[in-house]
Amino acid sequence: MPVRLKITLVFSSIVFCILGLVFLIIYFYAAKNRRDYIDARLTSMAVTTGRFLSRAETFNPSLIQKIDSLTAIAFTHKTVQVYDEMNRKIYSFNDEEEDALSVDKKKLSDARRHTKLYALIKKRDIIFYHYTDSNFNLVIVAAGYDDFGREYLNRLLFILVISFFAGTVIAVIIGYLFSSKLLRPLGRIAFEVNEISAQNLARRMDTGTSRDEWYYLSNTLNSLLERLQESFDLQRRFVANASHELSTPLTSISSQLEVTLQKERSAAEYQRVMQSIYHDVRHMGRLTHSLLELAKASASKGGIEIKPIRIDEILLRMPSEAAKIDKTYSVFLEFGELPDEEENLVVFGNEELLFTAIKNIVLNACKYSKNQRAIIMLEANEKDISVFVKNVGVGIPPHEFENIFQPFYRIEENRIAGGFGLGLSLAKRIIKLHNGEISLYSRPGEETIFTLHLSPAANLKK
């Protein structure tokens, strides 16, 4: 069901209920006032009749009947009947003979107990009134048909019903117009979103001037578009950088082979060319491996093997691993405050990926250190495992802190050191995949510290 129709139905239903409730209250209040008025008039007629009957010296049935005919003149089909304590009828007055009432003795007894009773019989309002004084104990029955009151209620009911349906129709029309106006900005937003594609991601939604819900929706969509544009830009840069990194050794190999094949070469020359091509192929192999690792780290947890891993055991492998990469690299381990329970050194994750992440940071620290040295410090408690990788070197300027985690990004001053610029990006993605955090502190020319925060497996179980 369209939202416009839903809003219209809800709005109309609310008005429907309010009108119905208000009109019911009006009608029942009017009906109650009419009944109270009838009750008072019939009671007055009964009391007047009782007073005349109780005065024996002035008792004149014809006179009393004349008075009863003039009392409560607004009524038609009036009836006044008086019964003594033996339930014998001692007086009767009727506008018409057929207006006479057949009174149940039980009603008379009930009237004596309750002083006054009201009844509605054949649309006639009837009062049973218990009249007493020093000489008489009477039950006076007064009845009449309220033509004016009932006509008034019928007209009121007709007006209320017509007003109710007219109000409901008007509410439906107003609700539809209101919902159309309310949802008009949503249609504009949908149109603008449909106009945005990969070719014009720089386009933004018009937020308008009113700070309403549509403003915040447009603002949220603009934030989403900014993130999408940033992702597309990163993807384009990644593809461009990857293509460049792959095309450079391929061009070098192609050029060397082309030159070599132009004429006959000596064995030494062929060996030198083959050695150069071998280095280019190894370069391409390392780049391809790094790209595959980056793709693996970008996947979800569902695609990798997760198991308990001792983080200290991974760190113990770092010195030999660094020396294997470059004999000039030195890695030193320092263990700070550690928990008594070994399970607080265990994390849930993929051992190969975590090893790769820490190795990349350590090798990066050795590469850009003044003396090719890196220091690894480990601290752990029940809530957190912290790994610090420190070196002393040129450092990293604060404005480069975020950039260095982007794929293929290298600080201009460090390009001479080689590499692809994928190591830190890969490390950050792996740590994030393990619900961890990586942060950086650096003082240019003095020291740089990378800090990894991981949650112990025991903490995750809780």
Taking only Cα atoms into account, the Rg of the chain, rounded to an integer number of angstroms, comes to 50
Is residue 260 helix, strand or coil?
helix
Q: How many residues does the chain have?
A: 462
**What is residue 416's predicted lDDT score, i.e. its pLDDT?**
47
* Domain spanning 213-297: CATH 3.40.50.740: no
Domain boundaries, the chain: 3-153, 213-297, 302-461
Instruction: Tell me the fold of 3-153.
Output: Beta-Lactamase (3.30.450)
Pairing verdict, β 89-94 and 76-83: antiparallel
pTM equals 0.49
Widest CA span in the chain? 163
- Residue closest to 353 by CA, chosen among 436, 462, 418, 420: 436
pLDDT at 388 over 90: yes
Residue 199: is it exposed, middle or buried by C-beta count within 10 angstroms (0-12/13-18/19+)?
A: exposed
pLDDT in tens, 126-146: 889 888 887 778 888 888 888
Give the H/E segment covering residue 440. Answer: strand 437-443
Q: Is-same-fold flag (3-153; 213-297)?
A: no
pLDDT digits (tens, 9 = 90+) for 353-378: 888 888 888 988 888 888 889 999 99
Average pLDDT taken over every residue of the chain:
80
Percent of the chain at pLDDT > 90 equals 7
Q: What secondary structure letter does DSSP report for 374? A: E
Among 380, 293, 294, CA closest to 336: 380
User: pLDDT band at residue 287, thresholds of 50, 70 and 90?
Assistant: low
Fold of 302-461: Heat Shock Protein 90 (3.30.565)
Where would I find the beta strands (DSSP E) of 122-157?
124-132, 137-145
More confident residue, 109 or 405: 109
pLDDT tens digits, 63-119: 555 555 555 556 778 888 888 888 888 888 887 777 788 888 888 888 888 888 888
320 Cβ neighbours under 8 A, 6+ residues apart: none
- β partners of residue 121: 124
Cα distance between residue 270 and residue 388, in whole Å: 47
Residues 6 or more apart in contact with residue 317 via CB below 8 angstroms: 355
pLDDT 10s digits, 256-270 = 888 888 888 788 888
Paired sense of beta strands 330-335 and 137-145, if any: unpaired
The C-alpha angle 376, 377, 383, rounded to 5 degrees, equals 135
| Kind and range of the H or E run holding 461 | helix 457-461
Q: What is the Cα 84 distance to its own chain's centre?
A: 76
**Which residue has tokens 């009671």?**
43
Task: Return the number of other C-beta atoms located less than 10 Å from residue 430's C-beta.
Answer: 28
- Asked if residue 312 lies in contact with residue 443, where contact means CB atoms within 8 angstroms, the answer is no
Q: Using one digit for the tens of pLDDT, what is the confidence trace for 155-179?
A: 999 999 999 999 888 988 888 888 8
Is it the case that residue 26 has pLDDT exceeding 90?
Answer: yes
- Rounded to 5 degrees, φ, ψ at 76 are -120, 165
Looking at 12-16, 29-33, 53-57, which range is the least confident one?
Answer: 53-57
Q: Which ranges of 55-74 does DSSP label H, i.e. alpha helix?
A: 61-70
Least confident range from 81-90, 270-279, 294-303, 437-446: namely 294-303
Mean pLDDT of 6-25: 88
Lay out the sheet containing 76-83: strands in order across. Answer: 89-94, 76-83, 137-145, 124-132, 116-121
Digit-coded pLDDT (tens) for 61-79: 565 555 555 555 567 788 8
Strand order in the sheet with 437-443: 330-335, 373-380, 385-391, 447-454, 437-443
Query: Which residues touch 437 (CB under 8 Å, ≥6 apart)?
Result: 431, 452, 453
More confident residue, 207 or 366: 366
